[in-house]
Amino acid sequence: MLARHNSVWLVPRQGVPARASVVGVLDQTTYAQLRDGLLEFAVDSADGVLIDVERLELRDRALVRVFTLVALRVRDWPAVPFALVTGRPDQRAVLVGSGVPVYPDAAAARAALPSPARRRASRVLDRLPRTSARARGFVRAICAEWMVPELVEDAELVATELVENTLRHTGSAPHLALELRRGTLSVEVSDESTRPAVLREALNLAEAGLGLRMVTKVAKRWGSSRSRSGGKTVWALLAR
């Protein structure tokens, strides 16, 4: 007799902020699946994330920490509000201790969530010999427009390293994006590869592929996040 495995699904719904419903069972076998699905969903959500959990069965109350973890992860990047929605009092009694805002319906959540003030600019870069130089020129122009000259040098370094990583390790055209929120500048490069960006160990500092070490030295925080499109975004945060 085959063992029965539980499942959990994330079903996107129309609306702003980005909305999705979680359907299925949350237990030890589905915890990682739900965590990864929520993080991927949040990557493409610019104005906030509302997750309806009314159709989710909570087998283990301790596992609601998955929502706490996701909320903490998306707080830094993509720096969007994250909240839960359920009309069930029994669920709200369990979720209220998670540290994540819980609302009875989507209308109440939208009314309560803050609208993040942000400025965003992006450009798709062709795979050309001077792609990195074009990336630096784009960064300089945007930082001048947003009046953050103190971040230009570090932002250029980060953009160069992330773009060159994409050119070196994928066949994608780098998608470079800058975003300014509450005094923090994010530098992001997206590509179509699902392979995460990782730090490499080596004794030869001139060896290709060690650019992320430079990023870690200047960035407040960095990460590699998968997106719903199937690719990934590598990002770094620079504080004013």
- What type of residue is 112? A
DSSP 45-77: -SS-EEEE-TTEEES-GGGGHHHHHHHHHHHHT
Q: What is the pLDDT of residue 14?
A: 83
What CATH number is given to the structural domain containing 88? 3.30.750.24
Q: Does residue 59 belong to any structural domain of this protein?
A: yes
- Nearest Cα to Cα of residue 198 among 227, 231, 173, 234: 234
Residue ending a domain, among 112, 147, 173, is 112
- What type of residue is 168? R
> Do 235 and 133 reside in the same domain of the chain?
yes
Q: Please list, residue by residue across 205-222, b when 16 or more beta carbons sit within 10 angstroms of its beta carbon and e when fewer do.
A: eeeeeebbeebeebbeeb
- Nearest Cα to Cα of residue 215 among 240, 194, 191, 234: 234
> Do 123 and 231 reside in the same domain of the chain?
yes
33 is in which domain, residue-wise? 8-112
> Do 103 and 185 reside in the same domain of the chain?
no
> Do 69 and 108 reside in the same domain of the chain?
yes
Q: How far is CA 137 from CA 126, 130, 181, in A?
A: 14, 11, 21
> Do 105 and 28 reside in the same domain of the chain?
yes
- What type of residue is 173? A
Q: What is the pLDDT of residue 199?
A: 60
> Do 133 and 107 reside in the same domain of the chain?
no
> Do 143 and 234 reside in the same domain of the chain?
yes
Residue ending a domain, among 112, 140, 175, is 112
> Do 48 and 156 reside in the same domain of the chain?
no
> Do 228 and 157 reside in the same domain of the chain?
yes
Q: Does residue 1 belong to any structural domain of this protein?
A: no
Per-residue pLDDT of the chain (240 residues; tens, 9 = 90+): 333 458 999 999 888 889 999 999 999 999 999 999 999 999 888 788 999 999 999 989 999 999 999 999 998 888 889 999 999 999 999 998 889 999 999 999 999 988 777 899 999 999 998 999 999 999 999 999 999 999 999 999 999 999 999 999 999 999 999 999 888 999 999 999 988 776 654 444 444 445 688 899 999 999 999 888 789 999 999 998
Q: What is the pLDDT of residue 200?
A: 55
The distance of Cα 206 from the centroid of its chain, to the nearest Å, equals 30
Q: Cα–Cα distance between 238 and 153 in angstroms, integer?
A: 11
What CATH number is given to the structural domain containing 228? 3.30.565.10
> Do 151 and 233 reside in the same domain of the chain?
yes
pTM over 0.85: no
Q: Does residue 235 belong to any structural domain of this protein?
A: yes
Which residues are within 8 A (CB) of 142 and not within 5 positions of it... i.e. 6 or more apart?
121, 178
